[in-house]
Structure 1
Amino acid sequence: MNELADTLHREINACTICAHHLPLGPRPVVQFSAKARILIIGQAPGTKVHKSGVPWDDDSGDRLRDWLGLTKDAFYDAQKVALMPMGFCYPGKAKGGDAPPRKECAPQWHDRILALLPKNRLTLLVGSYAQAQYLPQTRKTSLTDRVKNGEHISDALGPAIPLPHPSWRVRMWMGRNPWYQNEVVPRLQKQIAERLS
Structure 2
Amino acid sequence: MSDQIRVEEGEDNTLDQLFSEIRQCRYCEPGLPLGANPVIRGKSSARVLIIGQAPGTRVHESSIPWHDASGKRLRQWLGLSDDVFYDEGRIAIMPMGLCYPGKGRSGDLPPRPECAPRWHHAVLEQLPDIQLTLLVGQYAQQYYLPDKPKTLTQTVQEWSRWLPEYLPLPHPSPRNTLWLRKNPWFEQDVIPELQRNIRLLLPDVIRE
Q: Shorter-chain-normalised TM-score: which range?
A: over 0.9
Partner of 1:75: 85
Equivalent residue in structure 2 for 1:97, among 107, 127, 132: 107
Helix, strand or coil for the counterpart of 2:147? helix
Give unpaired runs (5+ residues) of structure 2.
Answer: 1-8, 204-208
Tell me, yes or no, if structure 1 residue 173 matches structure 2 residue 179: yes
1:17 to 22, 27, 32: 27
Code of the aligned partner of 2:156: V
Q: Distance in 1 between matches of 2:189 and 2:161?
A: 17
Match for 1:128 among 122, 132, 138?
138
Q: Distance in 2 between matches of 1:27 and 1:151?
A: 35
**Following the alignment from structure 2 to structure 1, what is the Cα–Cα distance between the partners of residues 177 and 98?**
26
Off by >2 Å, runs of 4+ in structure 1: 151-154
Describe the superposition over 1:136-169 as per-residue Cα deviations: whole angstroms up to 9, x where unpaired. 21152x2122111114449xxx821100001112
Does 2:44 align with 1:34? Answer: yes
Which residue among 46, 61, 68 is the counterpart of 1:58? Answer: 68
Q: TM-score, normalised by structure 1?
A: 0.93
What percentage of residue pairs aligned between the two structures are identical? 51
Q: TM-score, normalised by structure 2?
A: 0.89
- Does 2:174 correspond to 1:164? no
Unaligned runs of 5+ in 1: none
- Aligned residue for 1:55, secondary structure, equals coil
- Structure index of larger Rg: 2
- What does residue 6 of structure 2 align with? none
Is the CA contact 1:152–1:159 (under 8 Å) kept in the aligned structure 2? no
* Per-residue Cα deviation, 1:39-73 (whole angstroms, up to 9, x for no partner): 01000000010011100000000000000111110
* Partner Cα distance (1:120, 1:12) in 2: 20
Which residue identity is paired with 1:165?
H
* Counterpart residue type for residue 177 of structure 2: R
- Aligned counterparts of 1:139 and 1:8: Cα–Cα separation in 2: 34
What CA RMSD, in Å, does the superposition of the two structures yield over aligned residues?
1.5
What corresponds to 2:196 in structure 1?
Answer: 190
